[in-house]
Amino acid sequence: MNLMLNILLNVIIAFLIGTILIGLQRKIMARIQGRPGPPIIQHLLHTLKFFIKESAFPKTAAMPFYVAITAMLFVIWVAAVIDGPVTEGSLLLIFAIYTIQKIGEHNAGSSSGSPYGKMSCVRAVYSAAAEVPLFAVLIIIYLKAGTMNISSIINYQSIHGPLLFTIPLAAIMFFVLILSKSQYSPFAITKGKDIVSGYETEHFGLLRGYLMISESIAWYMLLWVFLTVFIGPLSLPAYLIGMVVLSTIVAFINAVTPILNPNHSVMMQVSLAFIGIAGSIVLLMI
């Protein structure tokens, strides 16, 4: 297949599946909490709605950065799709993209000039200090498989079995990272409702639409990375089933846990990352 067509196809799939999974997650959370909940496609309809709404720009916004940051967040997640499902390239690149995404969250908040956005911007720096070490558990994969190339990791697992069973602590830590990025998560301090919508508060219309598309693609990509590097070669329906299962587990956790205080959230994530990395290294040495 033509590369550009393949990229386009995968980006649309990532967006649609990501947005449906976020909708599913909200629905499950609502049912657990005894609420009817929104339809599963509510997040998709919500995203599309913003593209036909008026785009207003706050007077306090730092132009053109305020606009550019939304495009940047969108582009980096498209780059993640290209590096991931399309080319099965380097895991390091996805790690870099994730780190840039944290900077994007930070800058989206600060560029708006809103106090809620700025508060979210500070929390993005806090949470980066915790989430980046969590993502770093992927280094354990290098120690085990001897490669950071996604296609080589898939090949390794097709020979030696899923890494989920050989380095379970690393998988759990990566799951905590996925949990951190989910909506209404105990670790979702950058978008806590105490600061309205965090860094998204002052982005309206088209800009908000782009932020929501990025959010959906990011969710798909994190689940894709987890399934690919810890479970191994999967067919497309198996990916879908795996993503639904992970989203359901996350929904159960989020439905019964309140958002943590930012300091507690970061300390818990850092502690888990430390346990994950140190524990995995010990397990590898035994």
Partner 1 sequence: MNDATYLIYIISFVLGSIVGLVLSYRKYTAPYVTKNIDIIALIVSIIGWMLVINSHLITFIPIYLSITIGIFLVALVLGMRPGYGRYETVIGFILAAVVWIGTVLV
Which residues are at the interface with partner 1 (CB under 8 A)?
Answer: 1, 6, 9-10, 12-13, 16-17, 20, 36-41, 44-45, 235-237
Nearer to partner 1, 37 or 58 (CB): 37
Residue 260 DSSP one-character state:
P
Residue 200 DSSP one-character state:
G
Beta bridge partners of 90: 149
Nearer to partner 1, 245 or 267 (CB): 245
Nearer to partner 1, 20 or 273 (CB): 20
What is the closest distance, in whole angstroms, from the C-beta atom of residue 88 to partner 1 in the complex?
A: 14
**Contact assessment for residue 23 and residue 39, using Cβ atoms and an 8 Å cutoff:** yes
Nearer to partner 1, 39 or 115 (CB): 39
Nearer to partner 1, 13 or 32 (CB): 13
Residue 48 CB contacts under 8 Å (≥ 6 apart), including other chains: 209
What is the closest distance, in whole angstroms, from the C-beta atom of residue 106 to partner 1 in the complex?
A: 32
What is the closest distance, in whole angstroms, from the C-beta atom of residue 211 to partner 1 in the complex?
A: 20
3-state secondary structure 45-91: HHHHHHCCCCCCCCCCCCCCHHHHHHHHHHHHHHHHHHHHHHCCCEH
What is the closest distance, in whole angstroms, from the C-beta atom of residue 239 to partner 1 in the complex?
A: 9
**Contact assessment for residue 157 and residue 233, using Cβ atoms and an 8 Å cutoff:** yes
SS3 state at 267: helix
What is the closest distance, in whole angstroms, from the C-beta atom of residue 18 to partner 1 in the complex?
A: 11
Nearer to partner 1, 77 or 199 (CB): 77
C-alpha 14: how far from its chain's center? Answer: 12
Residue 71 CB contacts under 8 Å (≥ 6 apart), including other chains: 210
What is the closest distance, in whole angstroms, from the C-beta atom of residue 21 to partner 1 in the complex?
A: 11
